[in-house]
Amino acid sequence: MSSPVDAADGPPGPPGPVDDGADDRTDDGIDSSRRRRLSLIGVWLLVAFGGVVTALEVGTWLFLRSLDVDRMWRAVGCTSEHPCRTAAGQPVTRPIPAAGHLHLAGVALVAVVTVALVVATERAVRRSPGRPVATHLALAALVSSVLAVAVQADRLHGLPFNRFDGAYSTTYFFFMASNLTLLSTTAVLLFGLWNRARLGRYDDGDPFPVRLVRILTVGAAAAVCTLVVVASVFS
């Protein structure tokens, strides 16, 4: 015969929920903090890879410039009486003109402005969640990046020499094509940033996704400015 205490207690209820950290896991079962660490590592690896490629480009430029095989870096001293020859055997009878620095300075300046706008967007997401200021800043960054692409494309189209005239012209063309690729990639990233801000994806005040874009944008701008400086100073 059961005691009154046992009867008052009643039958045991269902077991309570077990806190196994499932709320902190994403759909693929990866802990959210771990997912962020992996995303951050992946972004930094991309930046490091870009830095290695940029260093190789700079090294190639300086090596060819110092080597100056057959005076074909910029064909200095080549005349109609004493023509130089390209790798394809075409005669070069005049020095290769140095490309102007105004466009290059414009590309670097707009790239830096784009970085500043992305940093401002990240701060706006953190300090003013749910407000349209982040969307407006992201749109300004997108417009700035598109402007940088346009300026770089104009420089690539309006070179004062043929890209196969010599080592300088070929390497310069490669530098500008590399810059155009970096700036175009940045524009695509910033379009995604603006679109997500427009849809309210950052209204929770979490700046981590914007931080990833900021790191990539800074890395691309650093590479662009490095190539611009090298092409301007060591022409």
Under a CB-based contact definition with an 8 Å cutoff, are residues 231 and 61 in contact?
yes
The CA distance from 98 to 231, in Å, is 10
The stretch 48-73 carries a mean pLDDT of 89
**Can you tell me the mean pLDDT for 141-148?**
96
More confident residue, 113 or 3: 113
Residue 30 pLDDT: 61
What is the reported pLDDT for 216? 95
> What CATH number does domain 35-233 carry, 3.30.300.30, 3.40.50.720, 1.20.120.80, 3.40.50.300?
1.20.120.80
Residues 48, 140, 153: CA angle, nearest 5 degrees: 65
Token pair 């269902």 is at which residue? Answer: 14
Helix axes 208-233 and 102-127, enclosed angle (nearest 10): 160
| Calpha distance 166→223 (Å, rounded) | 24
If you average pLDDT over residues 162-168, what whole number do you get? 78
Least-confidence region, from 63-67, 156-160, 225-229: 156-160
pTM of whole model > 0.75?
A: yes
Average pLDDT over residues 119-147: 91
Structure tokens at 110: 């707009």
Q: Which residue has the higher pLDDT, 160 or 53?
A: 53
- CA 142 from centroid of its chain's CA atoms: 13
Amino acid 79 reads T
With cut-offs at 50, 70 and 90, classify the pLDDT of residue 169.
confident
Q: Is residue 59's pLDDT more than 50?
A: yes
What pLDDT is recorded for position 81?
Answer: 75
Q: Average the pLDDT over 55-83 and give the result.
A: 82
Above 50 in pLDDT, residue 58?
yes
